[in-house]
């Protein structure tokens, strides 16, 4: 029973951290830019959505996560795509090398 409570709290805190990042100010700013972009400007819309996703991932990384390696890889791939495909025309984002780790409960 106690293990189930700890598991629930752990999963809930992980969800809470990632759901808070959906409301990240910079992520919302770029999502709004993507929505305002015309349907014909697919490259621009794509860039804005990728940058929005970058800020969501960075927020999760800074808030704490149990998928540090995966997030670092995803974030750095978004940075590479932004530099090589979009020439940083729609926003400059930077690579990261470390994420805050969520403390794992001892069950």
- If phi > 0 it is left, if psi is from -120 to 50 it is alpha, else beta; for residue 36 that is alpha
Question: To the nearest whole number, what is the mean pLDDT of the chain?
Answer: 83
pLDDT, one tens digit per residue, over 3-30 is 433 334 444 444 444 567 877 899 999 9
DSSP states of 29-72? HHHHHHHHS-TT-HHHHHHHHHHHHHHHHHHHHHH-BS-HHHHH
Question: Out of 7-11, 26-30, 76-80, 92-96, which region has the weakest mean confidence (pLDDT)?
Answer: 7-11
Q: How far is CA 71 from CA 16, 35, 46, 62, 64, in A?
A: 17, 25, 20, 11, 11
Query: Comparing 52 with 7, which gets the higher pLDDT?
Result: 52
Full-model pTM: 0.77
- Domain spans in the chain, listed from the N-terminal domain onward: 2-84
């Amino acid at each position: 029973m106690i293990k189930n409570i700890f598991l629930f709290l752990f999963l809930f805190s992980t969800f809470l951290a990632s759901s808070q990042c959906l409301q990240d100010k910079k992520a919302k700013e770029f999502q709004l830019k993507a929505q305002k972009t015309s349907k014909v400007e697919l490259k621009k819309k794509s860039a804005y959505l990728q940058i929005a996703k970058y800020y969501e991932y960075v927020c999760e990384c800074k808030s704490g996560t149990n998928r540090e390696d995966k997030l670092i890889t995803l974030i750095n791939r978004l940075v590479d795509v932004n530099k090589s495909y979009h020439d940083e025309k729609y926003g400059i984002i930077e690579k990261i090398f470390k994420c805050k780790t969520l403390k794992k409960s001892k069950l």
